[in-house]
Chain A
């Protein structure tokens, strides 16, 4: 019994947002929450979808911001993940207008402003295309999210890219409230968003 109580207490601490969903009180949050939750709202990058205007990595009041680090030459992980985001937003319904999506390219040398914008907006209307050729600035942002990436050229001259497959969710306080690891399905993402909107 003691063990079970301890385990319950841990779960409760780890999932404080799961407790008050609208009719989903028993549904755990599918995303992961870090303790302490990183604050990323002070970070910003140029938004190629808005003529390079500075885009702060925080959500507007009453909204959430989904952030994804990827690249457009990515044949497998990026389109798979962004497809789930698209489907999740369709499931969320009316509240989807209160979810913004920003894709940050980790491969700015190959991803032009125009290509990145078209790419992210193929999945999400009005999606933000964050791109900088200043690797120090990009690293700073990635570090803030606990995200990693590398772009190298192998012996055959092929560009090899690694990147975090995670989706990050940021609230209006600029806090990274949730992480959705690669492979999570649209339903889980949508359920989490509905729960969070119920709580907000």
Chain B
């Protein structure tokens, strides 16, 4: 499904991740276990885990919003579940996709959205901490990957490649389907 690799080695792990990630697993599961980093880990930019029991990291439900009219910016969303504490430290896309990718967070500036108009702002974040076995959800109105200045319009049905860097798990490259609306 969408070029995602399945590498679940242990039924017990499958169950644990399934319980945490819930229905998102139905969308698809990309999983990298310690073995997936393997001996080639260094050349892939993957840190060699200090322990063999480092656990797994799954990214599910990834999608990129189709660009609208001739607008040049868009966003990518996904959910990460890691068996251990980790940190999303970077995002990259090829220049054939967009000029730049950044982790961003949308925030409402005032708590009283009724009177003050719920002014919202968006800004880059250096990294996002991931608590073991707790889904990190990037979704509209919260954390997202912002794509600046797309090389060409992204249309529903397209697939783009996005590389995520994790402090513990190293780099993970995702095939991300382009959708017109949130799934």
Interface residues of A (CB under 8 A from B): 32, 34, 72-77, 79-80, 83, 87, 115, 118-119, 121-123, 145-149, 160-166, 179, 181-183
Contacts and interface: CB of A to CB of B under 8 A. Distances in A.
A87 B182 CA distance: 11
A108 B95 CA distance: 28
Q: Considering residues B69, B73, B144, B182, which has the most beta carbons from chain A within 10 angstroms of its beta carbon?
A: B69
Interface string B87-124: 00000000000000000101011000111111111110
Interface of B: 65, 68-75, 104, 106, 108-109, 113-123, 140-141, 144, 146-147, 181-182
Nearest to B70: A115
Contacts of B73: 73-75
A164 B75 contact: no
Contacts of A80: 140-141, 182
A79 B117 contact: no
Contact of B140 (A32, A76, A122, A160): A76
Given A115-B70, A182-B118, 14 more contacts: A74-B122, A75-B73, A75-B74, A76-B140, A77-B141, A115-B69, A122-B69, A146-B116, A147-B119, A148-B119, A161-B121, A162-B119, A164-B118, A165-B141
B141 A75 contact: no
Contact of A75 (B108, B116, B146): B146
B181 A83 contact: yes
A115 B104 contact: no
A183 B106 CA distance: 12
A115 B71 contact: yes
B120 A77 contact: yes
A164 B68 contact: no
Q: Considering residues A79, A80, A83, A149, which has the most beta carbons from chain B within 10 angstroms of its beta carbon?
A: A79
Interface of A is mostly: mixed
B118 A165 contact: yes
Contacts of A115: 69-71
B68 A122 contact: yes
B79 to A, nearest CB: 16
B70 A77 contact: no
A121 B121 CA distance: 24
Contacts of A181: 113-114, 118
B120 A163 contact: yes
Contacts of B122: 74-77, 160-161
B115 A34 contact: yes
A130 to B, nearest CB: 16
Contact of A76 (B71, B116, B118, B141): B141
Contacts of A163: 119-120
A72 B71 contact: yes
Contacts of B69: 72, 115, 118-119, 121-122
